[in-house]
Amino acid sequence: MATINDNNDIYAQNYGNNPSLSGTYKPFTSPYLNFDPGYVPISQPEFIFLDGSNKQRGRFELAFGQIGGSCMVGAAIGGATGFYNGFKATTLAGETGKLRQTQILNHIMKKGSATANTLGSIAVIYSAFGVILSWTRGTDDDLNTMAAATATGFLYKSTAGLRKCGMGAAVGLGISALFALWNSKDKLAQLTQFNPA
């Protein structure tokens, strides 16, 4: 058994055997931390991927971020719209004080939640179509994006009649076509520089 003044005592090795209250402080050492830093690579962090898998997230993994982002964007846009509408309505009604604050908050919450639900629902439908098309076709390309957006617009407006369904599908196709063009601007730049002569 080790005593306080014994050199084999772990307390004496780490904090010294000075008879003062605090002793002399030495940094704590552990036999488990005694390693050669040469074993630790100084390169950038690397991610571990399964053999044969591609090194980017698929449509299913991206769906969760898209849905959450759509809800947050919808809440922000709806909240700003609700603030504007509430401010205008309370000014016209001549309300002041706590009543005005409550009315403005009610407008913000009502419009913010409605817009967040709308954009979140659209994102869920779009993500579901995108994942199904990606798994069915075995690839994830711009055709999947445009087909998923067109089907989303069609399904989202399906309860409003056939004309509204067509308009929803056209809006979805238009937005996705613009996104596909913006997403493949490098390919378009290469095509415009092509000189057949």
Output 87 or 188, whichever has higher pLDDT. Answer: 87
pLDDT digits (tens, 9 = 90+) for 9-37: 555 555 555 555 555 555 556 667 776 66
How does DSSP classify residue 38? G
Mean pLDDT of the 151-163 span? 94
Please report, for the chain, the start and end positions of each structural domain, with discontinuous segments joined by +: 62-182
Distance between CA atoms of residues 175 and 173, nearest Å: 6
Please state, as a whole number, how many other Cβ atoms lie within 10 Å of the Cβ of residue 6.
13
Percent of the chain predicted with pLDDT > 90: 55
What is the reported pLDDT for 157? 92
Q: Count of H helices and E strands in the chain? A: 6, 0
137, amino acid identity: R
Q: What SS3 state is found at 110?
A: helix
For the cut 80, the answer to whether the pLDDT of residue 166 exceeds it is: yes
pLDDT digits (tens, 9 = 90+) for 38-58: 666 677 666 666 666 566 677
What is the reported pLDDT for 41? 65
